[in-house]
Every structure is written in C-alpha cells, then in structure tokens.
Amino acid sequence: MTTATAQATVIGKEQLLKHWQGHRNLTRRVIEAFPEKDLFEFSVAGMRPFSDLAIELLSIGGPALRAIVDRAATPYSEEGIAPKTKEALLKLWDAETETINTYFERIPEEDFSQTFNLFGQYEFPIYQNIFYFIDNEIHHRGQGYVYLRALNIQPPFFWER
C-alpha cells in the first residue's frame, strides 16, 4: 500500500457535489410545498419568511463557487436576487443548479484543502466553505419545516433527495 492510498478518500469531489445537489433538490421541494403567499409572508417568531431564506441560499451557492474559482474577494450580496413569485424563485433555483455544477467542476481536487477568504471575510479551507454552504442550507430548511408544520402542511421526507 502506498502512502497515497493509505490516505484514502472518505468523500470524493463528485460525491460531495451529488450530496449538495441532493440537498438542493430537497430544498426545492420545500419551496414548492409553501402556498404562494406564505412563501413570501409567513414565518414563526418574527424570523424571515422562507423566500428570504432561499434568497440567502441563492446568494451563497453560485456566487461563492464563482468567487472560489476566480479567487475573487467579491463581497456577499443579495442584490439583484429578488423573485416576486414562487415560479420566479424556482427558476432562479434551477439556473443556480447549473451554475453550481459548472463552477464546482472547475475546482481542482487538490484545491479543496487550500485556504480561501470567501466574500473577503470567511478565511477557511475551500472544503470547509462548501460544507458551510450545505450546512447553512440544511439549517434554514429545518426552520422551513417548522413553518410548514405551523401551516399544517406536511413537509417532504427529509431523506428524499
């Protein structure tokens, strides 16, 4: 056994992308589950409605990967991402699915352990930045599940991706 195989990959690049897109697919179904009006207006405990949480996610995934590929210090911004209907939000969501696939592919495997100062303020190894995108999505989607329950709507099964 060589040193290289002894440091076996527990999670590879394609597995990580598939994992993320599986979560994005579930989040898409959570967006779909909201009634149009509630998507933009309903929340619990004064928190943001789910559309705002989705806009945050759209402002991270694609733009962040692009910044990683370009090593650009582009700051975080939600500007220009302001869908007014569920259909418009889902259209942005699907476009970002392609953007993520495209830019993720352009990150060489050996770069995942390199440090990058994302949005000019989060200086971590790239793999940790990508974990953060996924975790932040699961976190906010978990909040969306509570909103749906409070609306008496059955959320999609968590394990269905």
Phi, psi (rounded to 5 degrees) for 40? -100, -15
C-alpha distances (whole Å) from 142 to each of 26, 84, 145 are: 11, 23, 5
Kindly state whether residue 149 participates in binding a copy of itself, applying the rule CB under 8 A: yes
Around Cβ 158, how many Cβ atoms within 10 Å?
Answer: 11
Residue 42 Cβ vs a copy of itself, minimum distance, rounded to whole Å: 12
The C-alpha atoms of residue 144 and residue 50 are separated, in whole angstroms, by 6
Residue 63 Cβ vs a copy of itself, minimum distance, rounded to whole Å: 18
Stretch that binds a copy of itself, among 55-63, 65-73, 76-84, 134-142 (CB under 8 A): 134-142
Q: Please report, as residue ranges, which positions from 61 to 100 form the binding site for a copy of itself (by CB under 8 A).
A: none
* Identity at 65, one-letter amino acid code: L
The C-alpha atoms of residue 50 and residue 64 are separated, in whole angstroms, by 21
Q: Which of 62, 119, 141, 156 binds a copy of itself (CB under 8 A)?
A: 141
Question: 86 or 141: whose CB is closer to a copy of itself?
Answer: 141
- The DSSP symbol for 72 reads -
Q: Which residue has the tokens 């928190």?
A: 47
Question: 13 or 29: whose CB is closer to a copy of itself?
Answer: 13
Interacting residues toward a copy of itself by CB under 8 A: 2, 4-13, 15-16, 19, 23, 44-47, 109-110, 112-113, 127-128, 131-132, 135-136, 138-143, 145-146, 149-150, 158-159
